């Protein structure tokens, strides 16, 4: 007899539909599996045979052929065990073939017939629904993920026998058929997450740094905080999530797909509703940051998509690790190419970094710094000019005086700052409603003159700054983008002199701290 089961293989943050065909016919008692299979899928042959036997289903001495289509797509992952089991049982007549029509199946099985969880259930089921399937069989541990896809009937099973009973309609855990329900997504209030985050009101003083953080979030600009130890750089960075705008539904779906593929969505009842804040340790490898492996997996860059990637103690990261940031910061995606497969992951994140200006932390204060010129140069040399050019705002965080700490009063809350951020971003979205980008930081070079035009005096001032600070074309454009954001924050249609001056000030700490270590130019 012949049967067919619908399933899928993960590819990037999406999936490719796969059909598992089973044919049981007379002949030598062989269990064949074909269709461009990875080693873990080929091993399913022994797992499935043993699991079926231990579940009470004995295979007859027949020739069993399992085919995975399309044949030109490599099948990898452990989620094919359950589809193969269902296909074999349907070919043997144990499961009614009509019960598998319009049904998506995924899951790993143990030798005892228990069904184990798999990664990427959410994107696979979401795309199965788009293909017209209306029912799915998933592992019990993936039940909550499956319920996030509205309009899909979910059969969450813990063993093969339970799957058979539910598909044939004559068994299950509960008499009321509680497994046969449509997945639902709980609705949370937009501000629920922000209320639990660290608040800017907890930080004393530092009005200039607060302004820089607000500017960075308003235009989604990359930010570098430089200063001595204990000045509050990390505290500032940790509070940036509290002023980020809420995610819209499309962003929630995309993030949930990402985290499902990474196996980080388990246990959630809802889509991801808060913007991610990823803060990897400086010992992270280039592969851990960008992603990779024989079978490509997401790195911290992609897990920070639509949120913040915070790199504390920036010069402590290996130089080759930092360099992998350059392309994603420009293209907003990561391309991973391997021998057997290649994939593309989104990486539209806001980079926030913090660092000391030298190993002791007090350069260029010669009265306190004990580092030699060579030591400072070696320390800062880990941050290349091309990478620094991709950071829009660079500010020095000063040490607070005792009097400032003692007399610190009530500071502005994150809620107040966030309200202004939303207003500034709304102006940008209205301006760019016919463009493929939404924020000032994303303005391409070809559109700079259109959206960041200057008058003759401003052009003359920028020409002087270009020479004085040895700017590159990229850093010059980033100054204009920041000036455009400052104008939006003030509600002005055009960039004023004060906006341009403030934007230039956000680059001057770079010169004070880094000097001419790299000179001009860079890729």
Instruction: Specify the long-range contacts of residues 168-175, CB closer than 8 Å, at least 24 apart.
Output: 168/95, 168/96, 168/99, 169/99
Alpha-carbon span 491 to 495, nearest angstrom: 10
SS3 label, residue 16: strand
Q: Which helix (H) or strand (E) holds 136?
A: strand 135-139
Q: Which helix (H) or strand (E) holds 7?
A: strand 2-11
Write down the domain spans for the chain: 2-182, 194-436
Q: Is the Cβ–Cβ distance between 326 and 258 less than 8 Å?
A: no
pLDDT range class, residue 189, cuts 50, 70, 90: very low
Lowest-confidence segment of 212-226, 368-382, 441-455 by average pLDDT: 368-382
| Cα 226 from Cα 514, distance rounded (Å) | 11
- At 4 the pLDDT is 96
Q: Which of 94-108, 173-187, 209-223 comes out lowest in average pLDDT?
A: 173-187
- The CA distance from 161 to 504, in Å, is 68
Q: In this structure, what token pair is assigned to residue 105? A: 């199946």
Q: What is the pLDDT of residue 513?
A: 60
Q: How far apart are CA 472 and CA 71, in angstroms?
A: 50
The CATH class, in words, for 194-436 is alpha beta
Roughly what angle, to the nearest 10 degrees, separates helices 249-261 and 121-130? 130
Rounded to an integer, the average pLDDT of 466-494 is 93
Please state the pTM of the whole predicted model: 0.87
Percent of residues, the chain, with pLDDT higher than 90 = 68
Question: Are 2-182 and 194-436 equal in CATH topology?
Answer: no
Hey, which residues does 75 pair with through a beta bridge?
37
Given pLDDT bands bounded at 50, 70 and 90, which one contains residue 196?
A: confident
Please state the length of the chain: 523
The residue assigned the tokens 């001419």 is: 516
195 pLDDT above the threshold of 70: no
pLDDT value of position 340? 67
Using one digit for the tens of pLDDT, what is the confidence trace for 11-65?
888 899 999 999 999 888 899 999 999 999 999 999 999 999 999 999 999 999 9
Burial class (CB in 10 A: 0-12, 13-18, 19+), 249: exposed
Q: Are strands 308-311 and 277-278 parallel, antiparallel or unpaired?
A: parallel
Give the residue among 418, 253, 254, 279 at the shortest CA–CA distance from 332: 254
pLDDT number for residue 135: 95
In this predicted structure, the answer to whether residue 182 has a pLDDT above a threshold of 60 is no
**CATH 3.40.50.1970 correct for 2-182:** no
CA-CA distance, 227 to 296, in Å (whole number)? 37
Angle at 429 between CA 423 and CA 430, to 5 degrees: 90
Asked whether the beta carbons of 354 and 235 are under 8 A apart, the reply is no
Pairing mode of beta strands 181-182, 153-157: antiparallel
Buried b vs exposed e over 9-36: b needs ≥16 C-beta within 10 Å?
bbbbbebebbbbbbbbeeeeeebebebe
Q: Give the pLDDT band (50/70/90) at residue 184.
A: very low
């Amino acid at each position: 007899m012949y049967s067919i089961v619908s399933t899928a293989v993960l590819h990037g943050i999406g999936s490719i539909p796969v059909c598992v065909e089973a044919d049981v016919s007379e002949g030598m008692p062989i269990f064949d599996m074909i269709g461009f299979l990875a080693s873990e899928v080929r091993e399913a042959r022994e797992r499935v045979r043993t699991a079926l036997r231990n579940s009470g289903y004995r295979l007859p001495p027949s020739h069993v052929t399992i085919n995975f289509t399309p044949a030109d797509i490599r099948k990898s992952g452990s989620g094919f065990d359950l589809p193969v089991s269902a296909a074999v049982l349907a070919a043997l007549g144990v499961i009614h073939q009509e019960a598998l029509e319009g049904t998506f199946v995924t899951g790993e099985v143990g030798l005892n017939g228990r069904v184990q969880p798999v990664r990427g259930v959410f994107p696979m089921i979401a795309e199965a629904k788009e293909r017209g399937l209306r029912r799915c069989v998933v592992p019990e541990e993936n039940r909550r993920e499956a319920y996030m896809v509205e309009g899909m009937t979910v059969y969450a099973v813990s063993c093969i026998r339970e799957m058979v009973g539910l598909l044939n309609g004559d068994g299950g855990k509960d008499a009321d058929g509680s497994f046969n329900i449509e997945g639902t997504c709980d609705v949370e209030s937009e501000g629920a997450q922000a209320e639990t985050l660290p608040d800017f009101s907890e930080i004393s003083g530092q009005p200039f740094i607060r302004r820089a953080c607000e500017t960075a979030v308003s235009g989604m600009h990359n930010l570098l905080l430089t200063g001595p130890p204990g000045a509050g750089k990390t505290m500032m960075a940790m509070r940036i999530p509290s002023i980020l705008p809420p995610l819209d539904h499309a962003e929630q779906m995309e993030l949930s797909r990402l985290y499902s593929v990474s196996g980080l969505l388990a246990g959630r009842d809802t889509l991801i509703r808060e913007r991610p804040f990823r803060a990897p340790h400086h010992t992270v490898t280039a592969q851990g940051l960008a992603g990779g492996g024989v079978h490509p997996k997401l790195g911290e860059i992609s897990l920070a998509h639509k949120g913040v990637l915070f790199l504390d103690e920036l010069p402590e990261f290996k130089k080759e690790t930092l360099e992998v940031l350059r392309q994603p910061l420009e293209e907003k995606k990561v391309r991973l190419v391997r021998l057997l497969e290649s994939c593309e992951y989104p990486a539209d994140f806001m980079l926030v970094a913090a660092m000391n200006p030298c190993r002791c932390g007090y350069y260029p204060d010669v009265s306190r710094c004990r580092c030699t010129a060579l030591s400072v140069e070696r320390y800062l040399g880990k941050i290349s000019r091309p990478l620094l050019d991709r950071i829009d705002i660079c500010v020095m965080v000063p040490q607070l005086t005792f009097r400032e700490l003692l007399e610190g009063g009530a500071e502005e809350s994150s809620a107040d700052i966030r309200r202004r951020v939303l207003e500034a971003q709304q102006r940008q979205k209205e301006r760019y409603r016919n463009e493929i980008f939404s924020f000032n930081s994303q303005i391409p070079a070809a559109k700079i003159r259109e959206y960041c035009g200057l008058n003759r005096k401003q052009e003359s001032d920028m020409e002087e700054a270009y020479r004085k600070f040895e700017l590159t074309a990229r850093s010059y454009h980033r100054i204009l983008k920041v000036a455009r954001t400052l104008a939006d924050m003030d509600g002005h249609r055009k960039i004023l002199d004060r906006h341009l001056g403030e934007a230039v000030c956000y680059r001057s700490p770079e010169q004070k701290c880094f000097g001419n270590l790299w000179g001009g130019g860079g890729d």
